[in-house]
Structure 1
């Protein structure tokens, strides 16, 4: 048993030390308790608490989680306990049952470092095993396993996160939908969009042909809009618009309602391919569903029109953006500047750039180079050179090779 008395210390002695430690921690004043505690443990036969003794003490203090974590760090700092995965697991559970999620997450990460395979100790799967074995004794909260998966993902241990998910699934323990979404998103990034899509179907038990319309799945978890968004963005990143559309159609099949982010991803997929008719159909559908378009929505459509040279339409959307009190961003101006550079309207470019500076936006390096290139093409070499020197000083912009060549050629022609 994880909390049995240690064989290295006589049982009576272990019980006495644990009881005395609990009494000191509960009843002594904060200033004196730590010195008394240190003296107590130092007077013991082994001069250290066993992991089981520590766990017994922590469990008796579990209604005071902050005191438990202080006691834990105290034993670590002064090397007063020979901690194992089980003593770490005890503290993790105590923090979890008190909803101290960030502290529990931090401790899980610490345990992953303290008991890494490189130290010939145990892997993260052993941490899962310790959490499962101590779960009932600590009266823990189910989301402790979500925290373990989250710790793996934040530590860039994707393979371990998937391994833990599979181990939990085999024990009929289900992660929260938000945790599943994070797992799908990371897998899509690291292993490709199809791997993310396959994992999505596996987690939510979706048949390859038909998805059940019931929100509640047999395995106790249901996909939501964020789930499908994670799958959509994976396909979008790899330019697979047909797959983005396929996932979009899945919203109705799994009885999920798309949110603003969902619409933005679909519009971005169409805009990137210049399919503005389809993009505007999605745009109108947002209004039909009474969804409030955000800055990303407006920027997506403005950028789409600017890329195909329809700057007047982009300006219409920009004016609507202002009328709807949606704050424009640096990206808004960059799209419009690129659009006007594309059609050679440098007067509008200069006005937009001044307005951009007035709002203290910092243009991307690519936008600076587009402006310089357009000035060179209009033979405004001096203006281009002056703009470049200012951008280099103010924004640390880097001049692209072709613009070096344009400036050199222009200066040579001017003698």
Structure 2
């Protein structure tokens, strides 16, 4: 009896009151928004690739709201390629209004799927549209005001994202030359206990070293890697960047300080690390310390690369010990390390410094056979040693051959040296042609060039030309 009564209670009657009662008991019908989302998701996941977009256009000619776009994207987040195609479809074909919310959703999805390049592209678009649009002074843009960062934080949990998304944001900003906002964002993340990866820290420090100075970059290193011991561990690449920056600024003591910091951090230096330290000692003329570094490199079991060999060869050659440089060059060949253009330039410079024109020219010819292009300082050294040890005419012929290389730009000193040499030998016509060529390169004749011509004309008995040039020189 009770079962029958219960059954009757659930049986609808054809009365208005019963209809209302049942509608209140049953689940509410789907809203237009929910229906659009579920329909779209079904079309995206079940229709063929070619038909899905035309179907969506016919069903939703007015496009989707930002809220609908984000909901649809979340439903298909496990397929980042499809999610990206849908997002681009809504913005390009449906003319739907993009919002920070929909941008942050697709960025999170792409970051989860490790679609690094596509995610960065959208991050940059979002920053340009929502952060930089209408901002007259881009310096006003800071990490604390970054709307894209705020949107990514707010949508982080609902998108089930990972911290990698903030690495992509920082790298994107760095590629847009926005260093200060990056530093702000990293600080805010660290305050929340979120840490970007070491590679991103390296890029941040590298950018600081290039756009600010070496001490700013070093302070940033201390801040990033000293925030909480063990959270971020620096690698050899960041130490190399710091040492190289200090080395380029001639601060050997700071190069040594960074080296000590690297050792304290239990980070093993690589062959390039040793090369930077050796170069610092070589430039200071301290070959003894450079040799000790070279020996330590070998003791550590590291195979010196061409950079290391070039560093020590250059040090020997600059200090007049070209023989030791030549020994290292032969060792390179035995170890299968191919010499570079820099290797030859160091050795040629060393032999020129020693006044050995024959050895310098042998190396130059070998260098050219291997397809290396000589720089102007090497040509200048060769012109000088040929003028001094062989003949001016041989130096002149060598110079003319070097000038045939379209990429070669001669030094002013090369022209002046040859002009003086030619005038000394009474070859004033050849010297005039060379001076005209020199003027065509933008070099203006100086007093000692005038003096060379005056002396040259006097030697061949052309006193009038010499006097004319003397007056011209006085009017300069």
Q: TM-score, normalised by structure 2?
A: 0.78
Deviates more, 1:100-109 or 1:61-70: 100-109
Correspondence 1:400 to 2:421:
no
For residues 107-132 of structure 1, what are the alpha-carbon distances to aligned partners after superposition, in whole Å with 9 as ceiling and x for unaligned?
A: 22222223242435987621111111
Correspondence 1:34 to 2:48:
no
Deviates more, 1:272-281 or 1:134-143: 134-143
Name the CA distance, whole Å, in 2 between partners of 1:316 and 1:275: 19
2:377 to 366, 372, 377: 366
Deviates more, 1:249-258 or 1:305-314: 249-258
Name the CA distance, whole Å, in 1 between partners of 2:330 and 2:409: 32
* SS of structure 1 residue aligned to 2:203: helix
CA contact (8 A) 1:298 1:321 kept: yes
Gaps of at least 5 residues in structure 2 are: 1-29, 428-476
CA contact (8 A) 1:314 1:336 kept: yes
2:395 to 374, 384, 402: 384
1:90-105 superposed matches below 5 A: 90-105=105-120
Match in the other structure for 2:32: 13
Match in the other structure for 2:18: none
* 1:38–1:301 distance in 2 versus 1, CA, 3 Å: same
* 1:155–1:391 distance in 2 versus 1, CA, 3 Å: farther
1:81 to 83, 96, 113: 96
Match in the other structure for 1:249: 260
* SS of structure 2 residue aligned to 1:75: helix
Correspondence 1:232 to 2:243:
yes
Deviates more, 1:305-314 or 1:342-351: 342-351
Larger radius of gyration: 2
* 1:352–1:49 distance in 2 versus 1, CA, 3 Å: same
1:375 to 374, 378, 386: 386
Correspondence 1:260 to 2:271:
yes
* SS of structure 2 residue aligned to 1:119: coil
For residues 15-65 of structure 1, what are the alpha-carbon distances to aligned partners after superposition, in whole Å with 9 as ceiling and x for unaligned?
A: 2222222122111111111111222221xxxx1322221111111111111
Name the CA distance, whole Å, in 1 between partners of 2:56 and 2:261: 60
Match in the other structure for 1:312: 323
Match in the other structure for 1:49: 64
How far did 1:275 drift? 0.9
Name the CA distance, whole Å, in 1 between partners of 2:375 and 2:99: 50
How far did 1:283 drift? 0.2
CA contact (8 A) 1:274 1:304 kept: yes
How far did 1:405 drift? 1.2
Correspondence 1:195 to 2:216:
yes
For residues 152-207 of structure 1, what are the alpha-carbon distances to aligned partners after superposition, in whole Å with 9 as ceiling and x for unaligned?
A: 1222211121121122122221111121122112212222111111111111227x
Match in the other structure for 1:5: none
2:128 to 113, 117, 124: 113
Gaps of at least 5 residues in structure 1 are: 1-10, 207-216
- Equivalent residues, number: 391
How far did 1:313 drift? 0.6
How far did 1:413 drift? 2.4
Match in the other structure for 1:4: none
Match in the other structure for 2:367: 356
Match in the other structure for 1:175: 196
| Structure ranking higher on relative contact order (CA contacts 8 Å, 6+ apart) | 1
CA contact (8 A) 2:376 2:411 kept: no
Deviates more, 1:123-132 or 1:300-309: 123-132
